[in-house]
Amino acid sequence: MYLCSDCGNESLKWQWQCPSCKAWNTLKEFKEAKINTSAWVKWGEEKELKKLETIKTTETRIQTSSQELNTVLGGGIVQGSVVLLSGEPGIGKSTLTLQLANWVDEDIVYISGEETEHQIFERSERLKVKNDKLSLLAESNIENILTTLQQYPTHHSVPSSVSESWKGKDTNNDPESSSGWQPKVLVIDSISVMHSDNISGVSGSISQVRYITELIVAYAKTTNTAVFIIGHVTKDGNLAGPKTLEHMVDTVLYFEGDSYDNLRILRSLKNRFGTTSEVALYTMTETGLQDLSNPGLEFIETKDPSIGSSLSITMEGNRPIIIETESLTTYTKFGYPKRSARGINTSKLDLIIAVLSKYTSIKLESYDVYTNIARGFKIDEPGIDLSIAASIISSKLSKTVPKDMIFIGEISLTGNIKPVMHMEKRIKEAKKMGFAKIIGPKGEKDIPGIEIIALKNISELPKYL
């Protein structure tokens, strides 16, 4: 059996390319332990079946002082949950988890297999972390880590109400007694460098990652400890390790942003305890991450009108965000013009260019087209289609677009402008921020204080620029 180290897909024979994720030279041989069928089989223990209406919810959450983190997690950190945090190197994953000590007034254990305790201390000084309930451990062996956590009360200052119950107990020789007091939050930095002596393979291999994650999940569920696991990403931006890693945890968060910008976005890709449509916005400062609860015009490069620039409002979860789209068109003598997009899918750009060429007088067959979402924002939703088209037309005609104008709407293959979700929220946000006009699809109700220009087809757009 061969497993892909990128996606975890199984293959019966070795191939140069993984048939699932199309990655090259990622199939590694994996031998599963054979089951001895001749041995006596031990039957399982009988359990009690429960009716749904008899089960009471015992979900408890830890509220943090970061409202952005509370939002993206669905209302706070669920005790006993396992959260997988991934992102590009240097984006701020370790900074976020270390700042939990400032955001949570609970006992936290931070375990690092990548840094020494002195390095973590120096980083905590820079981040101004002040929490006497934070404990550090520089270790990468999972057995040593779990054993240390079992003996947690013997080397950690606990509240007096709890310490009274430990008097006279030998916690070093009684592992069951030591399980009564555990940290509320545990950070593993990172899963890729952890290893186990009980299973073959190097750190980061499929077998090691899967086995260690199973141990961590079991620890979290039995001790009711919230665990944050830091994961790495591949060169393609996908989560490193087997795909089963994402299935085993409760929540998957992805930390993204431009390394040359101070904006950071925390997205929820999976959440068993809340919605996956929420995002958390942060700004990276010298003292760490700061909540960006009211972004306003944070994602706009300049307030002055410029050629090839237009504004739109996108939805991230239930939050409307004003963004700026930039486009550049240049004449080319080559037979195949170049199309480049940053922040949106290139196929979306190709579609909009094709529709403009078909239904408007804007011909781009001999022009290179470059499009960018300002501040490194990445957007998949179709509500900004009209803004992208407006910025391309602006660049082609060398006309500036007024910065008091917002473009909202999806462009269909027939050139029609289609309505998008949460249109009323977007319009109210535009009015709150002082914009005068909105160009969008037909059928929207007029709102006092802002002019709505309704378009039926993309052919009507150039005359408003």
DSSP letters spanning 235-284: TTSSBSS-THHHHHSSEEEEEE--TTSSEEEEEEEEETTS-SS-EEEEEE
Is there a domain that residue 50 lies in?
A: no
Q: What is the predicted pLDDT for the residue at 351?
A: 95
Q: Is residue 278 part of a domain?
A: yes
Please tell me whether residues 210 and 102 are part of one structural domain: yes
| Token digits of residue 70 | 């509370």
Q: Is position 22 within any domain?
A: yes
Supply the pTM of this predicted model.
0.79
Predicted local distance difference test score (pLDDT) of residue 1: 77
Computed over its alpha carbons, how large is the radius of gyration of the chain?
A: 27
443 and 323 together in one domain: yes
If asked whether residues 21 and 129 sit together in one domain, one would say: no
The pLDDT of residue 465 is: 85
Residue 162 lies in a domain: no
Q: Are 110 and 189 within 8 A, CB to CB?
A: yes
CATH code of the domain in which 386 resides: 3.30.230.10
Report the domain count for the chain.
Answer: 3
User: Do 240 and 112 share a structural domain?
Assistant: yes
Q: Element (H or E) spanning 373, and its range? A: strand 367-373
- The residue range of the domain holding 410 is 309-464
Q: For 191, list phi and psi in degrees, rounded to 5.
A: -65, -25
pLDDT at 426: 93
Same domain, 213 and 343: no
Please identify which residue in the block is written with the tokens 């089989």.
41
Q: Is residue 118 part of a domain?
A: yes
Instruction: Report if residue 168 sits inside a domain.
Output: no
Residue pLDDT tens, the chain, 465 long: 787 877 777 788 888 888 888 888 888 887 765 545 555 556 778 888 988 888 877 778 999 999 999 999 999 999 999 999 999 888 999 999 999 999 999 999 999 999 999 999 999 999 999 888 899 999 999 999 999 998 755 444 443 433 343 333 444 434 344 445 689 999 999 899 999 999 888 888 888 999 999 999 999 999 999 999 999 887 666 777 777 889 999 999 999 888 788 889 999 999 999 888 788 999 999 999 999 888 888 888 777 889 999 999 999 878 899 999 999 999 998 888 999 999 999 999 999 999 999 999 999 999 999 999 988 888 989 999 999 999 999 999 999 999 899 999 999 999 999 999 999 899 999 999 999 999 999 887 778 889 999 999 999 999 988
Report the pLDDT value the prediction gives residue 36, as an integer from 0 to 100.
53
Do the beta carbons of residue 307 and residue 398 sit within 8 Å? yes
| N-to-C CA span, the chain | 60
Question: Is the four-CA dihedral 154, 156, 159, 160 of positive or negative sign?
Answer: positive
User: Do residues 247 and 118 both lie within one domain?
Assistant: yes
Q: Which residues contact 133 (CB under 8 A, 6 or more apart)?
A: 101, 105, 106, 107, 108
Task: Please say whether the dihedral angle defined by the alpha carbons of residues 432, 437, 442 and 445, taken in this order, is positive or negative.
Answer: positive
d(CA 15, CA 430): 54
Residue type, 413: L
Question: Domain for residue 133, yes or no?
Answer: yes
Distance of CA 120 to the CA centre of its chain: 24
Domain assignment present for residue 167? The answer is no
The secondary structure element, H or E, covering residue 326 is strand 319-331
CATH number at residue 237: 3.40.50.300
339 and 236 assigned to the same domain: no
Mention every residue, 6+ apart, whose C-beta is less than 8 A from residue 424.
445
Same structural domain, 394 and 439: yes
pLDDT score at 388: 97
Q: Both 270 and 349 in a single domain?
A: no
